[in-house]
Amino acid sequence: MILCLTFLPTGGCVMLLNLSAGSSQRDQPEMRTMEKFYRRRQTPLDVPSRHLDQCEWIVLFIRPMKLKVGSIANYSFERDAMGDEDCLFLNVFAPANKTKLPVLFWIHGGGYGQDWAANYDFSTMAKTVGNGFVTVIIQYRLGAFGFASSAEIGHFGIPNAGIQDMRFALEWVRDHIHLFGGDPSRVTIAGESAGGGGVMLMTMANDGSDQASLFQRAIVSSPYLPTQWRHDDMQPSQAYYDLAARTGCLETTITQNGSVFNCLQSVESNILQNASAFVSMGTRWGQWAFLPVTDGKLITERPTKQLSKARVNGLAILAGNNANEGTLFVPPDVQTRDDFLARIRLNYPLLTEENITTIMRLYEVEEIPPMESLYSTNGLTPPHATSLSGVASGWLQAAYNLYAEATFVCPAMFLADAFSNRSEPSLPAKQAWRYQYSPPPAFHDDDLDVLMKSVQGTNDTDGADESTGFRIAFQSIWGRFIIDGDPTLHEDTVSSVRQTGEDISAAQKSQWLPWGTKSSSLNNSDHSMLNLNLTRPMGGMTDFQIVDGFSWEGGRGDRCKIWADLGPWVPA
């Protein structure tokens, strides 16, 4: 039996409590669903100010319930907006009759502009590790609702409202998860893409002074760090005033001598939603208009600056990325050196010519025609992902790889460095582990498919057809980290998979060392990384390997060091 809760933690509200017994929307047997709704009476740009105990509780009749769907979407050009303006809710999945279980707190991705909590189900992963944890899946405000920013919002409202939502949900878990069998002292926050970026920002919150008060562990999959401007910089301010123009608030403000903020508060949610979508459509290829900012309060510094000082909340992190992260975010018309340079200047307008010269020294490729034979690199010997992959070669692949490293891969490394106390050994002991998900094509978010579907692989066909052993191993890596704070696999898991003819022993403690621990098998390198791959792309056997994550793909660590140095100009 599993318990499920949905709630909306917003201020100025009436709370409705539904208790029901029956089947869930996924038709799992013996599912009991508990659903709590907070109906708020605030405008979308306000940040919640009241707490749970200030809400009125009303018990409703018993009937089967479906999970809440999601936040009001960033993209919808319908008269009736997709999603719900009352979007601050979470779903809790808990094994019945158990107590003091560790907690997985999931933050979904989607560029901070789309997606919703109901798309995610970790019940298969929980089952793989004996239903040993409670799962909490949250929703937060998206697009302009959660991430519009300007000097006006800094004065009248609160920037990073979507990040504040994440934090408020963590406070709810701290105070109430024990009612559902969870242990608030064993919380792992996790997320992919923008969700991973949200996890990164939670580790940075309040300059790292929270320590382990809200969570103890973190998992990031492809943590998203595109650019992070100050809340009143020109770029976020321009998006804010573009939003105002789309809603008629810019003209109204000029004629009536009022504030844009006050006008936006009075605009209907579907109009704001469509305006948010139009503004985001006007951004660069694969980018979003409304993103987290350095607000000087909750988020006090740029990530590259704060992480280099190892000032982070939490005690341990599991940081992963995929082999081909950049393909969704770069247009396919990058074919020449000039195209490549133009893309750099467009994405990072603050870079100086000296900065660009430095980047070109790292990413320069030979002027060769596209290769007829494309294949995935092995990461160890040439050719490397800097110029070749299973989907592109030459300058297009260089552009894919640059975006992947600057935006997803290096942020994972920055977080691992921060938790390894590499920069500040005098700080409290923390630990980090690194991995790469490599089964071709290993595009952005392909790894989630493996984490959430049956270990037999019968309920989905997206991405590579990973073996049963691969699925068990990958789900167990995440599951063991949630339960034990250590992702390395136990001997019983390795032996069980070995019976299928597959070897996953590289994921054991004796081989997969924490990031920052010298490894004799890697010539005393302290950048031990687990590469998760298959012997062939479709239906292959597991091919797990411990590699040097710094020298990987022709010196990825050196390139990430340069991106850290370029933080003020990215900015990131």
CA distance 365 to 65: 56
Model confidence at 49: pLDDT above 60: no
CA distance 328 to 449: 17
Res 256: pLDDT: 62
Q: Which residues of 240-254 are buried (b: 16+ CB within 10 A; e: fewer)?
A: bbbbbebbebbeebe
Instruction: For residue range 204-255, list pLDDT tens digits in order.
Output: 999 999 988 999 999 999 999 999 999 999 999 999 999 999 999 988 666 5
Backbone angles phi, psi at 92, to 5 degrees: -115, 130
Lowest mean pLDDT, pick from 283-287, 423-427, 533-537? 423-427
Whose structure tokens read 């740009």? 45
β-strand pairing of 134-138 with 542-548: unpaired
Neighbours of 445 (CB within 10 A): 17
282's tokens? 């006007």
Q: Are 102 and 56 in contact (CB under 8 A)?
A: no
CA distance 313 to 419: 9
Query: Long-range pairs for 15-20 at CB < 8 Å and ≥24 separation?
Result: 15/39, 15/52, 15/55, 15/56, 15/57, 15/58, 16/58, 16/60, 17/57, 17/58, 17/59, 17/60, 18/60, 18/62, 18/63, 18/65, 19/59, 19/62, 20/62, 20/63, 20/64, 20/65
Backbone angles phi, psi at 489, to 5 degrees: -90, 145
Model confidence at 434: pLDDT above 50: yes
Percent of the chain with pLDDT over 70: 79
Res 473: pLDDT: 97
Percent of the chain with pLDDT over 90: 72
Average pLDDT over residues 365-373: 68
Average pLDDT over residues 130-154: 96
Whose structure tokens read 């004629």? 255
Predicted structure pTM score: 0.87
Instruction: For residue range 544-561, list pLDDT tens digits in order.
Output: 999 999 999 999 999 999
Ordered structural domains, the chain, with CATH: 2-229+296-314 (3.40.50.1820), 322-565 (3.40.50.1820)
Maximum mean pLDDT: which of 208-212, 265-269, 489-493: 489-493
> 470: exposed, middle or buried (C-beta count within 10 Å: 0-12, 13-18, 19+)?
buried
Res 214: pLDDT: 97
Nearest one of 126, 155, 157 to 144, comparing CA atoms? 157
Whose structure tokens read 């321009």? 238
Res 282: pLDDT: 87
3-state secondary structure of 213: coil
* Higher pLDDT pick, 369 / 558: 558
For residue 9, cis peptide bond before it (omega within 30 degrees of 0): no
38's tokens? 């907070």
CA distance 146 to 158: 10
* Higher pLDDT pick, 125 / 85: 125
CA distance 290 to 148: 6
Number of Cα atoms under 13 Å in the Cβ half of residue 346: 16
Res 40: pLDDT: 29
